[in-house]
Amino acid sequence: MAALTRNKKNRTNSQTPPLNKRTKSSPMKKAAKSQKPPLKKQRRCIPEEKPVIATDEEEEEEIEQSLQGDEGSESGSDFFSDGDGEDVNDDGDADDLLDGSDDEEGTLDSDSDESDIEIKSRAIDKKRKKEEQDAKDEFTMNIKEQPDEFQLPTKKELEAEALGAPDLPNLQIRIREIVRVLSNFKDLRPDGAKRTDYVDQLKADLCSYYGYNEFLIGTLIEMFSVVELMELIEAFEKKRPTSIRTNTLKTRRRDLADVLLNRGVNLDPLSKWSKVGLIVYDSQVPIGATPEYLAGFYMLQSASSFLPVMALAPQEKERVVDMAAAPGGKTTYVAALMKNTGIIYANEMKVPRLKSLCANLHRMGVTNTIVCNYDGRELSKVLGQNSVDRVLLDAPCSGTGVISKDESVKTSKSADDINKFAHLQKQLILSAIDLVDANSKTGGYIVYSTCSIMIPENEAVIDYALKKRDVKVVPCGLDFGQPGFSSFREQRFHPSVEKTRRFYPHVHNMDGFFVAKLKKMSNAMQPTETDKPAETMRQAQVSSSDDDEEAEAIEELKKPSVANGQPKRESNTKEYKKRQKFPRSKETHKGKRNTSIKSESGSGTVEEPRKQKKKRSQWKNEIAQAREEKRNAMRENAKERPKHRK
């Protein structure tokens, strides 16, 4: 038994040294030991280098108490080892006690580790709650700073803003608030506020933020609701996707797409409504300089330019006129639909644009087109009235639908420009209607289109054509698009104008466009308003000149013409009566004949101007004779005056 106890003592001594020896080590040994990794007991005493976590005072006190408890346990073990160091070597029961204390210390270590994790997790949770509370407090503070109801800026604030540079973030916030109020003005308006004040402020802010002039913004506000207006303006700030049209005279869309995909062009079919269009997202090569483009396999063309040709729907072996053809996108599309049959008259008024038109026609392989350079208003006189089957009129316009391509439209267009374009478009559409033959078996259609969204250039022009020519509006054959305006403010148009189609960038993701299709019902021409005033003015001028001449003649006839000191008034009056007898009798007889013709045929309006012409010619001859007689008398008097002086 003694041997067993000794071995046990030696084993315990070899496994764990006495606590007093570990605690009473020299400072050099402590420095050496500090380089080694600490034990479990020492890890609890050494603070770990971790990010500092803000805790409350209670948690700090708990951590200090736990740390003090650990130090107390160590000091108790040291005290136990110091007092009974020699007895430990002699007594086996003490060894059993020490063994039991090691097990208890292991359980204490695990408990203390769990307590530390719980404390840290509580601290993290508390920190999160504190951050959330701070965020809520900040949010509520910001809400309290801003008033519940939006208030328009005062005159002083506007004057201060005008002096400095525009504050774009502030403008954007104000625009949003005004739009929010105007969208439900009945419920959201402040007491005593007027809608006009909000609208005027919105106009000013949009002009300064987006760079529009007052006229254009005012017109758009009248046309669209406030929410839709903002969507439209934002759409104008973005560019439309690039689209190309397959030339079916040379290739198919599937084959062209495969070739371009191999060249690194990322593309997709345009839409369900087009069988030849492709939309290009990006390209590793210039899309306008590929071998396929130079070979005429496709045409760079906006999606909105497809629509007028699709509405026209030309048939093979027809006579078609494109009144404003350059640069040739629509003309080549018409030729592809006609499969190079029939005749296309591609007219372009501006000579510099003829180069691009001819180049595209040759590149695309079009062979049935005649290029001409005439004013579209005179084209019906050149080609002849009622001579073609269909006419495509893509009229020149203000370009308010393609602001994303040309931002100068924001500031360059005014009400006078819109009126000038509208006047030109009315003349062009009447000329286009006169070109079309109403008796055509397959045609008799006119398609009118513009890249503008202004009502005076679109619906007003169609309504004018309906009043001046025997035409009617027919469906365009397009499944999408918004109907045209049948009324706008005080203007009221024909109800059939709703069959026209409008296209917007914020709705259809294409340029703003207008398309209308007309069917000519008969070849009868109605006089236009511009012709009637011209005729009446001429008649008024002629009548006024005749009246003046008649008055002069009467005065001259009344004046005595002295020749050789003898008055010739009686001779003149006698000759005047003799000359006037026969013509008057003839005229009276002819007038009686004309009246008999009127009673028999019922059409006597043609003979009245003839009487006037004969009378006018007689008066002119009489006036000329009277003037000559007066001049002769004056000459004779001039010759006789020197003799009397002598």
Is 330 marked within a binding site? yes
Is 153 marked within a binding site? no
Residue whose C-alpha is closest to residue 234's, from 507, 418, 484 = 507
Is-cis flag, bond preceding 147, omega within 30?
Answer: no
Type of residue numbered 466: L
For residue 486, give Cα distances in angstroms to 249, 418, 458, 489, 521. Answer: 40, 19, 11, 10, 22
Which H or E element spans position 624?
helix 608-645
**Do residues 336 and 249 lie in contact, with contact meaning Cβ atoms separated by under 8 Å?**
yes
- Spatial separation of the C-alpha atoms in residues 349 and 67, rounded to whole Å: 98
Is 586 marked within a binding site? no
For residue 256, give Cα distances in angstroms to 293, 494, 507, 538, 631. Answer: 10, 45, 29, 62, 88
- Spatial separation of the C-alpha atoms in residues 345 and 247, rounded to whole Å: 19
Is 91 marked within a binding site? no
Is 54 marked within a binding site? no
DSSP code at position 47:
P
Q: Which candidate in 358, 372, 451, 476 is catalytic? A: 451
Please tell me the total number of residues recorded for the chain in this structure: 646
Is 399 marked within a binding site? no
Is 555 marked within a binding site? no
- Spatial separation of the C-alpha atoms in residues 22 and 42, rounded to whole Å: 12
Is 94 marked within a binding site? no
358 is catalytic: no
- Spatial separation of the C-alpha atoms in residues 628 and 30, rounded to whole Å: 148
Is 328 marked within a binding site? yes
Is 444 marked within a binding site? no
Tokens (6 digits) for 317: 């072996």
- Spatial separation of the C-alpha atoms in residues 276 and 421, rounded to whole Å: 32
Residue whose C-alpha is closest to residue 518's, from 482, 465, 560 = 465
**Which residues are identified as catalytic?**
451
> Residues marked as binding?
324-330, 348, 375, 394
> Which residues line the annotated binding site for S-adenosyl-L-methionine?
324-330, 348, 375, 394
